[in-house]
Structure 1
Amino acid sequence: MNAQQLEYIRIRLRSALLDDSGGTKGQLEAFSEHPPADKNGYTRHRMHKVELEGGRQVYSDNSAVYVMETRSRRQPLPPMKEFAYAHCAWRRAVLQLDEHQQAWLKYCYGWDLSFKLQTLICQHVWETYEKQLVSTRIQKRVKLRLISLVWLAVQDVAAKNWNDQYTEYAATALANLMSISRETWYQTYAAPWQALKGIASSLDEGALIEAQGRVGSHYAED
Structure 2
Amino acid sequence: MNTQQLEYVRLELTRALVDRSGGTKGQLEAFSEHPPANKIHSPRQPIYKVELEGERWVNADNAAVYVLETRSRRRPMPPIKDFEFAAAPWRRAINLLPEHEQAWLRYCYGFDLTFRYQTLICESIWNEHQKYLPSGLLRKTKKRIISLVWLAVQEVAALHMNDTYKEYAGALLATHLGVSRSTWCEIYALHWQRLKQAAEELDSHALHEVINRKQEHVFEELTA
The TM-score normalised by the length of structure 1 is 0.77
Name the structure 2 match of 1:66.
none
* 1:200 and 2:204 aligned: no
- Counterpart CA distance in 2 for 1:192 and 1:136 is 14
- Counterpart CA distance in 1 for 2:70 and 2:193 is 54
Name the structure 2 match of 1:179.
178
Paired residues of 1:27 and 1:70 also in contact (CA < 8 A): no
Q: Deviations for 1:14-38, whole angstroms, at most 9, x for unmatched residues?
A: 011111121115748xx9xxxxxxx
> 2:22 is paired with a residue of what secondary structure?
helix
- Counterpart CA distance in 2 for 1:27 and 1:217 is 36
Name the structure 1 match of 2:57.
none
- Counterpart CA distance in 2 for 1:168 and 1:108 is 17
Name the structure 1 match of 2:167.
168
Q: Deviations for 1:127-149, whole angstroms, at most 9, x for unmatched residues?
A: 1111333x532100000001100
Name the structure 2 match of 1:137.
136
Name the structure 1 match of 2:208.
209
Pair 167,76 (structure 1): closer, same or farther in 2 beyond 3 Å: same
- Counterpart CA distance in 2 for 1:116 and 1:14 is 20
- Counterpart CA distance in 2 for 1:21 and 1:81 is 13
- Counterpart CA distance in 2 for 1:108 and 1:21 is 19
- Counterpart CA distance in 2 for 1:90 and 1:147 is 33
Name the structure 2 match of 1:159.
158
Name the structure 2 match of 1:4.
4
- Counterpart CA distance in 2 for 1:70 and 1:130 is 60
Cα shift at 1:74: 6.5
- What runs of 5+ residues in structure 2 fail to find an aligned partner? 35-68
Name the structure 2 match of 1:123.
123
- Counterpart CA distance in 1 for 2:120 and 2:158 is 18
Name the structure 2 match of 1:94.
94
- What runs of 5+ residues in structure 1 fail to find an aligned partner? 32-68
- Counterpart CA distance in 2 for 1:160 and 1:79 is 37
Name the structure 1 match of 2:78.
78
Identity in percent: 53
- Counterpart CA distance in 1 for 2:170 and 2:159 is 17
Cα shift at 1:73: 4.9
- Counterpart CA distance in 2 for 1:136 and 1:18 is 44
Q: Which moved more, 1:17-26 or 1:96-105?
A: 17-26
- Counterpart CA distance in 2 for 1:132 and 1:184 is 18
Paired residues of 1:16 and 1:88 also in contact (CA < 8 A): yes
Which one has a bigger Cα radius of gyration? 1
Name the structure 1 match of 2:105.
105
Paired residues of 1:101 and 1:207 also in contact (CA < 8 A): yes
Amino acid at match of 2:215: G
The TM-score normalised by the length of structure 2 is 0.76
Amino acid at match of 1:21: S
Q: Which moved more, 1:180-189 or 1:71-80?
A: 71-80
Q: CA RMSD in A?
A: 2.0
> 2:100 is paired with a residue of what secondary structure?
helix
Pair 70,170 (structure 1): closer, same or farther in 2 beyond 3 Å: farther
Pair 111,70 (structure 1): closer, same or farther in 2 beyond 3 Å: farther
- Counterpart CA distance in 1 for 2:156 and 2:198 is 10
Name the structure 1 match of 2:59.
none
Paired residues of 1:100 and 1:120 also in contact (CA < 8 A): yes
